[in-house]
């Protein structure tokens, strides 16, 4: 496929691409494509100034435009003003992470204020007052809510959650299957030009 988003007046752009794995029963379903414009993404502004752009999932009674994804994701673009503490309920059993776009903030899950891992950094090597900053990935353990606190700087981050599939993964390059044999067959189809079928 081909995607050609427009940049700004200088021709530059920034974006995030998130791939959601499908359960084995849906791996060979017909492909779908949906184009969702910025003006189709609802924004909720809370009383404390927190703004949430809802790409997938629901905040209050407002639902995002991306639906019918097997893992039922939440995909939020969140801005937290300086000097604010914000808490969000997450259904127990979901996998969840945050990716910081700009600013810095302190993340916690339930009552353990520093129980997170950042990519490439061990929790035990971090100062207990550490704040996660730009381009940091925060991985959460299971729980029922997360709390985000800012001090002098506002924070913008993506919050993504989804139901785990609890299935084996065989992954190579752009293709994700459940077994090595399925992966081998997929690459054979790709090399023969039959991976994308015209009957779709």
For residue 65, the model assigns a pLDDT of 97
* 42 falls within a domain: yes
Residue predicted with more confidence, 118 or 27: 27
Q: Is the pLDDT of residue 62 over 70?
A: yes
* 19 falls within a domain: no
Residue 184, SS3?
helix
Same domain? For 53 and 83 the reply is: yes
Domains in the chain, number: 2
Same domain? For 102 and 175 the reply is: no
Beta strand spans in 104-154 (E):
106-109, 117-118, 137-140, 145-149
Q: What is the DSSP letter of 59?
A: E
pTM: 0.79
Contact between residue 108 and residue 96 where contact means Cβ atoms under 8 Å apart: no
């Amino acid at each position: 496929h081909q995607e050609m988003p427009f940049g700004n007046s200088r021709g530059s752009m920034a974006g995030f691409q998130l791939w959601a794995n499908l359960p084995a029963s849906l791996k060979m379903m017909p492909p779908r494509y949906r184009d969702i414009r910025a003006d189709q993404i609802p924004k909720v502004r809370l009383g404390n100034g927190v703004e949430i752009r809802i790409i997938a999932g629901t905040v209050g009674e407002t639902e995002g435009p991306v639906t019918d994804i097997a893992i039922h994701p939440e995909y939020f673009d969140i801005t937290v003003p300086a000097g604010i503490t914000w808490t969000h309920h997450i259904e127990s059993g979901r996998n969840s992470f945050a990716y910081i776009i700009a600013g810095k903030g302190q993340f916690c899950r339930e009552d353990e204020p520093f129980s997170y891992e950042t990519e490439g950094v061990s929790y035990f090597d971090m100062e207990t007052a550490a704040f996660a900053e730009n381009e940091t990935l925060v991985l959460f353990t299971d729980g029922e809510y997360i709390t985000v606190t800012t001090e002098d700087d506002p924070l913008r981050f993506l919050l993504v959650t989804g139901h785990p599939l609890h299935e084996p993964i065989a992954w190579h390059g752009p293709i994700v299957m459940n077994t090595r044999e399925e992966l081998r067959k997929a690459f054979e189809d790709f090399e023969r030009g039959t991976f994308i079928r015209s009957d779709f």
